[in-house]
Structure 1
Amino acid sequence: MTSSDSSTTAGPRLLGPADVRSLAARLGVRPTKQRGQNFVIDPNTVRRIVRAAELSADGETVLEIGPGLGSLTLALLAEGHRVTAVEIDSVLAAALPSTIAEYAPGQVGDFAVIEADAMTVTAEQIGSPSACVANLPYNVAVPVLLHLLAVSPSLRHGLVMVQSEVADRLAAGPGSRTYGVPSAKAAWYAEVRRAGPIGRNVFWPAPNVDSGLVAFERREPPGTAASREEVFAVIEAAFSQRRKTVRSALARWMPDRAALDEVFRITGIDPALRGEMLGIAEFAALAGAGQSLKTA
């Protein structure tokens, strides 16, 4: 097979539209909505994604979720990075090593594939990647990203492609109309920002939604006496009734009204605010004060 993006220089060849369709036909693969599969067919797009990820020039161990036929994988290998790919589709997972051997024979040793569900993959399975670069399955993008940040503390930074509206939600700050549970939970782990749009015509099949890149940089969570699970419970309660004040919204989280008032007194947070006005530090403070009262 001849790559439509091949050159006379050494190194991996990237997949163009003809390569993607040929590989898919050989495997009898058709992208499915159930698994959120849309294969990137434009070499310039995967090059752009790798550049935008701002990976170390010395090479990093990159975690890729949903590599599909290997378009982004080859672009990462071409820049000297090691790739651990998590693929739930058994046919695609089995075919990836052969694709890497054909298109990037010099980088076979820098690639490993794990057949697993990214929603439940463990730290033991993925090792210690320093970055995550992926075209996430759009139907589960948020829970997958939050799961990876939770189970892999070695992930320092990354860049993921998601549905444009999801990118807005993940990167939103307090007070924004798109700020919500995904925004606040992601902020527990990292600084998150939009990193550019992606056109529909670079995919096969072309999705009926716009796509966007989201970059994240790991940071320490705010100090609190509460666990992450307790902080997340406060976040979920605060956004469960968006039109209500945070005091009203947190009534189910802490039914004792006197204790709830004490939580606001301890933290100095205005109980008349709505949940969407609070940042992750405020949610952590509320959870921490609640935990302190429960253990007093």
Structure 2
Amino acid sequence: MSEPSATTLLGPAEIRRLAAELDVRPTKKLGQNFVHDPNTVRRIVELAGVGDDDVVLEVGPGLGSLTLGLLDAGSRVVAVEIDTVLADRLPATAREHAPGVADRLTVLPADALRLRAADLPELPTALVANLPYNVAVPVVLGLLAELPSLVRGLVMVQTEVADRMAAGPGSRTYGVPSVKLAWYGQARKVAPVPRSVFWPVPNVDSALVSFERGDAVPEGDRAAVFAAVDAAFAQRRKTLRAALAGWAGSAANAERILVAAGIDPRTRGEQLTVEDFARIAAAR
């Protein structure tokens, strides 16, 4: 483990001071709710299990609460921030509150949804972030596809999103995010996060979701498999024979493909694993 670095984490007073200095008014559009509780930050970092050997990708660092915790754990941090005002201030915050480890921080003013491996100074091993609920799933899926080096992660998202990300077949919350995440590995809902640790206080509950990339992905072309998943859940109350009719060209074609894949055409998408969808795509 790294030596103690005399890092001071941000509390409510520091968060409000920084926001006032920057004239930052948190916006719903960017999903900005800043964590102001140091104990919550410490818990997130501990659950993420990151340390000296990790390059952590943090999406949406905001005012830097979690960034400081990650630096204190000894990790190198690449922080991707779409708000240029926040991105410009973050290095100074690191120097002020974590002087011994501030040089381990790289800040990229960029949109995580458009991030490419070539944009990064080094390939990250872990994703740790407080994600806006409206882009959480596309950000995670996009980064897993673009960055094979990401072997694990811990993200804070809206509880409803967390449930969908971590759901298994047969669950009422199982759907497109569940299946697509399962393509890469295993997602698990870890713990709730109280509303009181945020400023401003959100009107939704939050939770932590952990992720570990699997040793191997299912066989098949990812784009083809994901197209089948999208089609199956676009009409999730219908049987797969009906739901996949447009994707397959007709209900008869869908039935033929399903039978060839060893799937009962009367089944619904919520009952299938990602491996089942891979067989369906391969049988098309």
Within the alignment, does 1:95 sit opposite 2:89 as a pair? yes
Instruction: Say which SS state the counterpart of residue 29 (structure 1) adopts.
Output: coil
Amino acid at match of 2:222: R
Per the alignment, residue 260 of structure 1 pairs with: 254
The partner residue of 2:190 within 186, 195, 207 is 195
Q: Percent identity?
A: 59
Per the alignment, residue 281 of structure 1 pairs with: 275
| 1:176-235 Cα distance to aligned partner (Å, 9 max, x none) | 0000111111111120000100000000000000000000000122112xx211111100
* CA distance in 1 between partners of 2:5 and 2:195 (Å): 31
> Is the 2:71–2:102 contact (alpha carbons within 8 Å) kept by the matching residues of 1?
no
* CA distance in 2 between partners of 1:197 and 1:10 (Å): 29
Within the alignment, does 1:140 sit opposite 2:135 as a pair? yes
* CA distance in 2 between partners of 1:251 and 1:198 (Å): 41
* CA distance in 1 between partners of 2:56 and 2:225 (Å): 29
Per the alignment, residue 40 of structure 1 pairs with: 35
Per the alignment, residue 4 of structure 1 pairs with: none
* CA distance in 1 between partners of 2:132 and 2:118 (Å): 22
Amino acid at match of 2:219: G
Instruction: Say which SS state the counterpart of residue 207 (structure 2) adopts.
Output: strand
After TM superposition, the structure 1 = structure 2 runs for residues 158-237 of structure 1, keeping only pairs within 5 Å, are 158-219=153-214, 220-224=216-220, 227-237=221-231
* CA distance in 2 between partners of 1:69 and 1:45 (Å): 15
Per the alignment, residue 130 of structure 1 pairs with: 125
Question: Could you state the TM-score of these two structures normalised by the residue count of structure 2?
Answer: 0.95
* CA distance in 1 between partners of 2:133 and 2:244 (Å): 31
Q: CA deviation at 1:143?
A: 0.8
Question: Could you state the TM-score of these two structures normalised by the residue count of structure 1?
Answer: 0.92
Q: Cα distance 1:108–1:58, how it changes in 2: closer, same or farther (>3 A)?
A: closer
Instruction: Say which SS state the counterpart of residue 133 (structure 1) adopts.
Output: strand
> Is the 1:59–1:79 contact (alpha carbons within 8 Å) kept by the matching residues of 2?
no
Runs of 4 or more, structure 1, over 6 Å off, are none
The partner residue of 1:155 within 143, 150, 157 is 150
Per the alignment, residue 3 of structure 1 pairs with: none
Q: CA deviation at 1:247?
A: 1.2
Q: CA deviation at 1:172?
A: 0.3
* CA distance in 2 between partners of 1:81 and 1:242 (Å): 42
> Is the 1:67–1:73 contact (alpha carbons within 8 Å) kept by the matching residues of 2?
yes
* CA distance in 1 between partners of 2:172 and 2:147 (Å): 30
Instruction: Say which SS state the counterpart of residue 31 (structure 2) adopts.
Output: coil
* CA distance in 1 between partners of 2:200 and 2:12 (Å): 11
Q: CA deviation at 1:109?
A: 1.6
* CA distance in 2 between partners of 1:231 and 1:184 (Å): 10
Q: CA deviation at 1:121?
A: 0.9
The partner residue of 1:107 within 83, 101, 115 is 101
Q: CA deviation at 1:59?
A: 3.0
* CA distance in 1 between partners of 2:207 and 2:252 (Å): 45
| 1:231-260 Cα distance to aligned partner (Å, 9 max, x none) | 111001101111111111100011145543
Gaps of 5+ in 1: 1-8, 291-296
Aligned length: 279
Deviates more, 1:259-268 or 1:22-31: 259-268
| 1:251-288 Cα distance to aligned partner (Å, 9 max, x none) | 00111455433322321111111111011000111001
The partner residue of 1:71 within 52, 65, 75 is 65
